[in-house]
C-alpha cells in the first residue's frame, strides 16, 4: 500500500531551509541500518551516509512539513486554483 501526502508550500510563507535542492531520506527496516540521504544535483547525485546528515535533513523536512499547508488545506487551495483557471 502506498500512502502519499501532498502539502503545498504557500507563497506567503517565503523561503525555507530545503530550497538548496531536492533530497530523499532513505530508511531501512533493519534496526542496525542507518538512514541515508540522496541529494540530486544537475550533473549527478550524492549519497550521504553519516547519521548527522540524515538527522539534519530529517529536521529540515519536518520543518518544511510543519509550515506547509495541511493535506486538507492543500486540497482546498488546489481546488480553488483550478476553479480560477476555468
pLDDT in tens, the chain (86 residues): 678 899 998 888 888 878 888 899 998 887 767 889 999 888 899 999 999 999 999 999 999 999 899 999 999 999 999 999 98
**Count of domains for the chain:** 1
CB atoms inside a 10 Å sphere around CB 27: 11
40 in a structural domain: yes
Instruction: Kindly state whether residue 84 falls inside one of the protein's structural domains.
Output: no
83 assigned to some structural domain: no
Residue 68 is part of which domain span? 22-74
Q: What is the number of alpha carbons within 13 Å of residue 59 lying toward its C-beta?
A: 5
Q: Which three cell numbers stand for residue 4?
A: 502519499
Q: What is the pLDDT of residue 80?
A: 94
46 lies in some domain: yes
- Closest residue by Cα to residue 72 from 2, 19, 12, 7: 7
Q: Is residue 39 part of a domain?
A: yes
Residue 85, in any domain of the structure: no
Partners of residue 24 on adjacent β-strands: 38
The pLDDT, as a whole number, for residue 32 is: 67
Residue 29 belongs to some domain of the structure: yes
> pTM above 0.85?
no
Amino acid at each position: 500500500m502506498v500512502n502519499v501526502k501532498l502539502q503545498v508550500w504557500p507563497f506567503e510563507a517565503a523561503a525555507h531551509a530545503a530550497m538548496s535542492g531536492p533530497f530523499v531520506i532513505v530508511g531501512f527496516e533493519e534496526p542496525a541500518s542507518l538512514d541515508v540521504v540522496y541529494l540530486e544535483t544537475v550533473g549527478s547525485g550524492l549519497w550521504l551516509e553519516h547519521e548527522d546528515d540524515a538527522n539534519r535533513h530529517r529536521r529540515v523536512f519536518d520543518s518544511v512539513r510543519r509550515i506547509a499547508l495541511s493535506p486538507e488545506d492543500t486540497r482546498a487551495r488546489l481546488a480553488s486554483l483550478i476553479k480560477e483557471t476555468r
